[in-house]
Chain A
Amino acid sequence: MNITSTHFVLFTLLALGVYYLLPRRKQNYWLLSLSYIFCITWAWQFALILALLTGANFALAKQLHKDGQQRRRFLWLGIGLNVLALVLFRMADFFMPEALALLTGLGVATEAGGLQFLIPLGLSYYILEIISYLVDVHRGQIRATTDFVDFALYLAYFPKLIAGPIERASSFLPKLANPRFVGNDMLARSFTLIVIGLVRKLLIADILAASIFLDVFVTPARYTPPELLGWLLIYAFVLYNDFAGYTNIVRGVSGLFGIELSPNFQQPYFARNFTEFWNRWHITLSHWLRDYIYLPLARTLLRRNRGRRKLLNFAVPALTTMLISGLWHGISGHMLLWGGLHGLYQIVERIPSLWRPTVPPQRQPGWRQVMAATLIFTLVILAWVPFRMELPEAVEFWRGLLNWSSFAIRYRRLFLVVPLIIGAIGLDWIQYHYRDEVIYLRWPRLAQAFCLAVVLLLLFISTGGEGVGEPFVYQGF
């Protein structure tokens, strides 16, 4: 069930109708049931895998309260089990043909696509939630929950199941344990988030995505450098608005249940350095990587090599973290290169800090901030090349960008989408300028109503009246 479909709207309305009438405890049962139904609408195998991992990790977490060396063993057992599950399922693409051949050899009939359940819905996201939960319990930062329903709901909660946000048990479980309130403000905020999300997804990302020719990322040599640059720019806005749109929608939907989800984006393309970029892009993943990879590694290195100004002390954690981030996005060479590039960007950015203190970007003159944001944006979109395509094509794409033998732009669609990109930047700028993602709620009522009506009309047109958009890019991770 796609979350931009009318089925999902009906599903949510039905869910809310019953939810508001139930006491808190039963609300959790209801939400858990709905979450598994939602999961089954994709494939029942997804629900089975989720249930198995939930049960195993719930039992493991209880063992982490025990004293002695056993705690550590159970922690590593838990991490190992979950990482193994993630790696195995993520590598399913590689061994799918072999698995099919083996089954056929054994005389087991399989339909084309019948093994697709090997890549379960939201696995990459809830595995990180499980690992953070196990580590936090082991560190003593939280107590292992004794409530299986709450724990299962923490992992399966349907608004965040497809592609996050990656929530921490320390903040999410208390929300499930306490009564929820939905007042006028919460309702207005949630609806606004949903509308902004739909605008980002259906009016910006889907339309921009449709403008990109299918072969651009397969045979980039067919296009001139300005065209390649145009496609890359469009892709950058597609990726951002698609994922940010998804996050807005699910946060809005969750808000209707009185459960706030963490934000994932804060105008990342306005970032003035890479540290800021990663605090604005896929925030819940970035923070997860920071807390469970970067900081433990940095602390270990600091203990071994005393002195903050040693290159190794920040280079190794930054590079390792970004390589792991790349692998999380896909076990492949091009994702590794994308992660490696971002690791490298962060190292180079921080080299000056070896001999002089760095000035925070907000304290720098305005022109430098603009220059810095432009540079960061340029480097980020160049890194999207290996993020989007396999290594040989990525190299060909970069080569094409540098080969300025022709300046021709042959496709008018590259010009036609310019107003949309300006609109997308405008949307971000308003949120950035007022430091409020739902600033629209402070507008006069008439302006709010007019904007909302225009958006609804445009949504009707942009979906052909069917109300279904393209699948989200990040639900594939």
Chain B
Amino acid sequence: MDRILWLFGRGQERRIWRESTLHLQRPLGKTLALTLLMLLLLGGAAELTARSEPFQRLLREPGMGSRHYQLGRKLARLDAIIKNSGPIDCLILGSSMVDVGFDPHAFREGYKEATGQDIHCFNFGIDASTAVSAAAIAQILVEDYRPRILIYGTDARDYAVASEDNDPAVILESNWVRYRLGHFSLDGWLLDHSYFYRYRHYLFRLSRLYLEETLRSQTTLNYEITADGHTPLTTVSTYINDPPDPKDDSFEVTYTFSIFSSFEMLEENLDALERIMAHNNQETQVIITEMPVADGLYYFFGNGKDDHQRFLTQVGQLAQAHQVPFWQTTALDLIPDDGWVDYSHVNTTGAAIFSNWLGQQVGEAQNDWLLQNQTVSSPEID
């Protein structure tokens, strides 16, 4: 028992470790213990500061351990809108097609037209997301925000990209996302629980005087996100119905070819879609909607429209199995020619039209569901 470290005590002479080299005596570690206490107090003060509004207004939104520039920003915007306007009713998830294509304001108008009621929506579309990363985000958001409606805006690309690919990996490899999905790590736990920890990279950058990348007032962003999560793009493209030039080596063309030329729907992405649909219950209504694409996109598929149709059929079958509505937009030809940014992204004009239509659809569906629920639960009918 001689070697047991009695760190604190009054006896100055009493040895607590007696080896040939280490000669430790009591008292030992009082300063360290006091330091730990101080550190706890200072850490608490730092945490309170990091949670304060002036502090959060000063710095950019923290990244939640992901290299993806949107994840942290959208989470912070979502928290801010809830703080300012109350809980949200619906969340829409998906890739950049949703990010730029879903305008919550136009959605609200459409919903109001159909129901006469207001709805509070947030666009959580994340650039380059796939079904697997969307399912991960869906699980976290449903758990934290319990939305009444969860809409997944989807397209063929969501099923063609593997989860090891950098696009979804940048979300899935975040320790915070992994922690929230049940894979414990200290980093993930700290990201989830501590605002001070979330801001550490910005504080580090601030200590290196990188003001332009840290302070909100000093930062100019390439893409602005609105308070309700939408990234409005105003560019208008006219080529979107034409076949792509085979000599075109732009990223848009080469990337789209690489995804669609031998189109295949990966099992892991279909499983992920089912996980999203599994959130459909009494509390949350899940809706799957096809995101609109321009006619020119079909030229990229190895089998043209057939491949695209395969995507629609397979998603439709899964939706039916889970009793989740799947709304298709291809046949509706919703978006006018000046409503496109490129083959698969709509601009503000396109976003307003699509979102208004979606709002009306959800509104009408709500009416039906309410009617159905009332019918089912009505004691008179029983």
A contact residues vs B (CB 8 Å cutoff): 19-21, 23-24, 27, 179-184, 187-188, 207, 210-211, 258, 413, 416-417, 445-446, 448-450, 452-454, 456-457, 460-465
Once the chains bind, are B24 and A448 in contact (CB under 8 Å)?
no
Instruction: Tell me which of B23, B42, B200 contacts A453 (CB under 8 A).
Output: B42
Once the chains bind, are B38 and A449 in contact (CB under 8 Å)?
yes
Instruction: Give residues of chain B (23-75) contacting chain A, Cβ–Cβ below 8 Å.
Output: 23-25, 28, 30-31, 34-39, 41-43, 46
Once the chains bind, are A184 and B24 in contact (CB under 8 Å)?
yes
B197 located at the interface, meaning its Cβ lies under 8 Å from any Cβ of chain A in the complex: yes
Once the chains bind, are B20 and A457 in contact (CB under 8 Å)?
no
| Bound complex: CA A413 to CA B218 (Å) | 14
Once the chains bind, are A449 and B207 in contact (CB under 8 Å)?
no
Once the chains bind, are A457 and B21 in contact (CB under 8 Å)?
no
Q: Which residues of A contact B22 (CB under 8 A)?
A: 20, 182
Q: Which residues of A contact B46 (CB under 8 A)?
A: 457
Once the chains bind, are B204 and A457 in contact (CB under 8 Å)?
no
- Are A449 and B21 CB-contacts (below 8 A) given A207-B208, A457-B43, A461-B203? no
- Pick 16 A–B contacts, CB within 8 A, sort by A: A20-B22, A181-B23, A182-B23, A183-B23, A183-B24, A184-B25, A187-B24, A207-B207, A210-B208, A448-B34, A457-B46, A461-B204, A462-B204, A462-B207, A464-B200, A464-B203
Closest to B12 in A: A184
| Chain B 183-195 per-residue mask, 1 if CB under 8 angstroms from chain A, else 0 | 0000000000000
Instruction: Tell me which of A188, A413, A464 contacts B209 (CB under 8 A).
Output: A413
Q: Which residues of A contact B203 (CB under 8 A)?
A: 461, 464
Give chain A nearest CB distance to B172 CB in angstroms: 22
Once the chains bind, are A461 and B200 in contact (CB under 8 Å)?
yes
Give chain B nearest CB distance to A14 CB in angstroms: 15
Once the chains bind, are A181 and B200 in contact (CB under 8 Å)?
no
B19 located at the interface, meaning its Cβ lies under 8 Å from any Cβ of chain A in the complex: yes
Once the chains bind, are A19 and B21 in contact (CB under 8 Å)?
yes
Once the chains bind, are A211 and B209 in contact (CB under 8 Å)?
yes
Q: Which residues of A contact B31 (CB under 8 A)?
A: 188, 445, 448-449, 452
Closest to A453 in B: B38
Give chain A nearest CB distance to B47 CB in angstroms: 11
Closest to A457 in B: B42
| Bound complex: CA A454 to CA B28 (Å) | 21
Instruction: Tell me which of A179, A446, A456 contacts B20 (CB under 8 A).
Output: A179
Instruction: Tell me which of B20, B30, B204 contacts A464 (CB under 8 A).
Output: B204
| Bound complex: CA A180 to CA B20 (Å) | 8
Once the chains bind, are B21 and A179 in contact (CB under 8 Å)?
yes
Give chain B nearest CB distance to A356 CB in angstroms: 50
Q: Which residues of A contact B35 (CB under 8 A)?
A: 448-449, 452-453, 456
Give chain B nearest CB distance to A19 CB in angstroms: 7
Q: Which residues of B contact A27 (CB under 8 A)?
A: 21
- Are A180 and B21 CB-contacts (below 8 A) given A445-B31, A453-B38, A457-B42? yes
Once the chains bind, are B24 and A457 in contact (CB under 8 Å)?
no
Once the chains bind, are B21 and A456 in contact (CB under 8 Å)?
no
Give chain B nearest CB distance to A172 CB in angstroms: 17
Shortest Cβ-Cβ A-B pairs, 8 listed: A464-B204, A453-B38, A449-B34, A210-B208, A453-B39, A449-B35, A452-B35, A465-B200
- Are A21 and B38 CB-contacts (below 8 A) given A445-B30, A461-B207? no
| Bound complex: CA A460 to CA B50 (Å) | 15
Most A CB atoms within 10 A — which of B19, B28, B30, B46?
A: B19
Q: Which residues of A contact B201 (CB under 8 A)?
A: 464-465
Closest to A466 in B: B204
Closest to A206 in B: B208
Once the chains bind, are B21 and A463 in contact (CB under 8 Å)?
no
Give chain A nearest CB distance to B19 CB in angstroms: 5
Q: Which residues of B contact A181 (CB under 8 A)?
A: 21, 23
Once the chains bind, are B21 and A20 in contact (CB under 8 Å)?
yes
Give chain A nearest CB distance to B25 CB in angstroms: 6
